[in-house]
């Protein structure tokens, strides 16, 4: 029998979206809460860069780490403190889901390497292929062998920490989804994004994308609404609710 959530899911807010997006669509944590399909009272948010202290691990049933416009390689004090806290969470088998920056921070915390993706920035809606290991993965099992997801990142996990399991990849990024330990996952893509958000980011980075030889207009035109991200968030919420 599934047992009820002992406490809220904790969202570690590690950054904010573009001001123009925030004013009309909210911020990272609000998009995640919507994707989880949980009532607002089932989630708490800690703004780590804003000065909120990291709480005791036993006070929450699961942890989600947002994206950020900061780079992991900047080694900000708040980021390094969060990395140490997350290392403890993974060792204690707390259910954790890192998104984009959160994914990279998990890898960094556990001994992996993060840096600029040598292929450049990856923005838009793209296809990722699930690895054989994903078939039996508690979070990704049941998903189609190829899923379309929203992406928006400059840095990537360049080397996985020891013991990590690659779950999904594409030609741009070998580590689109990874399992760290028994109950922690990282996804380079953004399950909380929709097509409007992706297009806003493409427009914001139009100049640098063009300078890298990419076609921002094509990227915006091929950005589509996808359901895989929301399904993944809801599966994570179900895992937490089941006491995984």
Tens digit of each residue's pLDDT (9 = 90 or more) over 135-169: 999 999 999 999 999 999 999 999 999 999 999 99
H or E element at residue 115: strand 113-116
Q: Which of 60, 103, 153, 190 does the annotation list as catalytic?
A: 190
Is position 190 annotated as part of the catalytic site?
A: yes
Q: How far apart are CA 74 and CA 42, in angstroms?
A: 33
**Tens of pLDDT, residues 210-229:** 999 999 999 999 999 999 99
Is position 100 annotated as part of the catalytic site?
A: yes
pTM, entire model: 0.95
24: its two tokens = 């009309």
pLDDT for 6: 47
- 8 A C-beta contact, residue 7 and residue 63: no
Is position 162 annotated as part of the catalytic site?
A: no
Q: Which of 16, 100, 103, 122 does the annotation list as catalytic?
A: 100
**Tens of pLDDT, residues 190-215:** 999 999 999 999 999 999 999 999 99
**Residue 55 pLDDT greater than 70, yes or no:** yes
**Strand, coil or helix: what is 182?**
coil
Q: Which domains does the chain have, with CATH numbers?
A: 9-241 (3.40.50.880)
Please provide the size of the chain in residues.
244
Q: How far apart are CA 229 and CA 192, in angstroms?
A: 6
Share of the chain above pLDDT 70, in %: 95
**Using CA atoms in the order 82, 189, 212, 206, what is the torsion angle rounded to 10 degrees?**
-90
Average pLDDT of every residue of the chain:
94
Q: Which of 29, 122, 192, 226 does the annotation list as catalytic?
A: 192
């Amino acid at each position: 029998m599934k047992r009820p959530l002992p406490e809220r899911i904790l969202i570690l807010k590690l950054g904010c979206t573009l001001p123009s997006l925030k004013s009309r669509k909210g911020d990272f944590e609000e998009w995640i809460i919507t994707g989880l399909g949980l009532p607002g009272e089932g989630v708490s948010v800690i703004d780590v860069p804003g000065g909120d202290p990291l709480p005791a691990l036993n006070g929450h049933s699961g942890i989600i780490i947002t994206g950020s416009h900061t780079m992991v390689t900047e080694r900000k004090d708040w980021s390094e403190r969060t990395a140490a806290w997350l290392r403890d969470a993974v060792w204690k088998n707390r259910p954790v889901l890192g998104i984009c920056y959160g994914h990279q921070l998990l890898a960094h915390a556990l001994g992996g390497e993060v840096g600029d993706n040598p292929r450049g920035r990856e923005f838009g809606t793209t296809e990722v292929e699930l690895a054989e290991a994903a078939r039996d993965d508690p979070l990704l099992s049941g998903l189609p062998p190829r899923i379309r997801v929203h992406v928006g990142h400059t840095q990537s996990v360049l080397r996985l920490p020891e013991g990590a399991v690659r779950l999904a990849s594409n030609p741009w990024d070998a580590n689109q989804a990874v399992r760290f330990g028994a109950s922690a996952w990282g996804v380079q893509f953004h399950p909380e994004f929709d097509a409007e958000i992706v297009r806003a980011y493409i427009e914001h980075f139009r100049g640098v994308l063009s300078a890298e030889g990419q076609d921002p207009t094509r990227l915006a035109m091929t950005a589509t609404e996808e359901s895989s991200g929301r399904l993944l968030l809801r599966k994570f919420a179900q895992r937490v609710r089941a006491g995984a």
